[in-house]
Structure formats: structure tokens, C-alpha cells
A and B are shown apart, each in its own frame.
Chain A
Amino acid sequence: DQQVKQNSPSLSVQEGRISILNCDYTNSMFDYFLWYKKYPAEGPTFLISISSIKDKNEDGRFTVFLNKSAKHLSLHIVPSQPGDSAVYFCAATPDNYGQNFVFGPGTRLSVLP
């Protein structure tokens, strides 16, 4: 049973518009969440994170929103650029110490010029 779900395998967005990638989790003990971006033939790279004590975290064009009651988080990219085309993984952990992360299956984002 997947504890971290990304129900959209793929998403296409026009350049300049907003991209919204969603992630749902089932374990109420998860306390810290991260988003990674992955290009073909490369390893995942860290994008942005959020702790459960917050409901929003921003870094430039990237904003992550957390709704703990709904066990849902989302990544907003505004404005979307062709270079954002990649696979995005959501990851969660119940631990503050130690890195026992559970990864979602990923969403492939295509930003069309």
C-alpha cells in the first residue's frame, strides 16, 4: 500500500502558466515533506521542503502548500518554464532525526513553449 501517492502520472502546461503538482499521504505521523526534481539520466535533485508546523514555503518560483488535515501537499511553479520539464517526486518522513523517507511514484511535467 503506497503511503505517498502522486495520482497524476503526467501533466502538461503552457510556458508562463502555473503548474500544480499534487501529493497525498496516508500516514498521519509524517512530519516533514520534500520535493525532488529529476531529469532523464540524472539523479533526483532537491527542490523545496516543508515542515508540518508550516502550511506554506516559498523559494522563488516554487511554493509548496501543506494541508495536514487533508493529508495533502502541492507544489506550485509560477511561471512555468520549459526547463522545468522533469519528473517531480514527493517524499515524506515521520522522523526529525534520521532520513527514513518514503517517496511517491512521481509526476512527469511537460512545459510546452
Chain B
Amino acid sequence: NAGVTQTPKFRILKIGQSMTLQCTQDMNHNYMYWYRQDPGMGLKLIYYSVGAGITDKGEVPNGYNVSRSTTEDFPLRLELAAPSQTSVYFCAGGGAYSNQPQHFGDGTRLSIL
């Protein structure tokens, strides 16, 4: 079972560059999420989606964009990379209810230099 797959695992970007973090899932989750985790902090929600074609902002959306054209894929786009976006990014999938735990990918470690 692949579950939730994130690519790449590591990336170094220069300030001002752009990139897309890929996330795909084969668990048929309607809900999908992007989080970032900074050192010593909990996961903070960037964007989420409740289904194909529907996305919404989380707690820290500035500097990011998402799209959800299919149930399986939920890419996260950084348009103008800034040092403050250096972080570990996690994608997750889940159900609609709180008692349906989210399933996480293994993360993308992104450094902006």
C-alpha cells in the first residue's frame, strides 16, 4: 500500500525560485491537507481540500498556492521562495470526521538559501 506519497524528499531552492511539492494518495481520501513543521513547533496547516475542485486556506497560507483537480493529487506551489519557507512539509489525507485519523506522507525537507 502506497498510502500518501510526497515528492521530492529533499530540495534546496534559491531565493525567488519557484517549485511544486507533489502529493498523491491512493486511499480515496476526500480531505487532503498541507502542513509545515518548523523546528520546535507543531504542524501548522497551510491549505486543505475537501474534494476535487475545492480548496481553502489554513492558518499559514501566505506564499503558497494549491490545486485539486483529482481526488488523488494535491500539489503545493511556492511561487517566490523566501528563507522563511525553509521547513519540512507534510501532506496528509483523511475523512470528514474528527475520529478518522489523518494519514501522512513522509515529508519534503525544503531549504531556501
Q: Are A45 and B104 in contact (CB under 8 A)?
A: yes
Tell me, in angstroms, the Cα distance from A95 to B31 when the chains sit together: 15
A-B residue pair count with CB separations less than 8 angstroms: 67
Also in contact, A49 and B42, with CB within 8 A (given A42-B106, A43-B90, A99-B31)? no
Q: Are B98 and A89 in contact (CB under 8 A)?
A: no
Tell me, in angstroms, the Cα distance from A42 to B105 when the chains sit together: 7
B9 and chain A: residue at smallest CB distance: A41
A96 within 8 A of B: yes
Which range contains the number of A residues in contact with the other chain?
Answer: 20 to 34
Identify 29 residue pairs between A and B in the complex whose beta-carbon atoms are under 8 Å apart, listed by A's number. A2-B42, A9-B40, A32-B98, A34-B101, A36-B104, A41-B107, A42-B106, A43-B4, A43-B92, A43-B105, A44-B43, A45-B104, A46-B102, A89-B42, A93-B98, A96-B97, A96-B98, A97-B97, A97-B98, A99-B94, A99-B97, A100-B45, A101-B45, A101-B98, A102-B42, A103-B42, A103-B43, A104-B42, A105-B41
What is the interface of chain B, defined by CB distance below 8 A to chain A? 4, 31, 33, 35, 40-45, 48, 50, 90, 92, 94-107
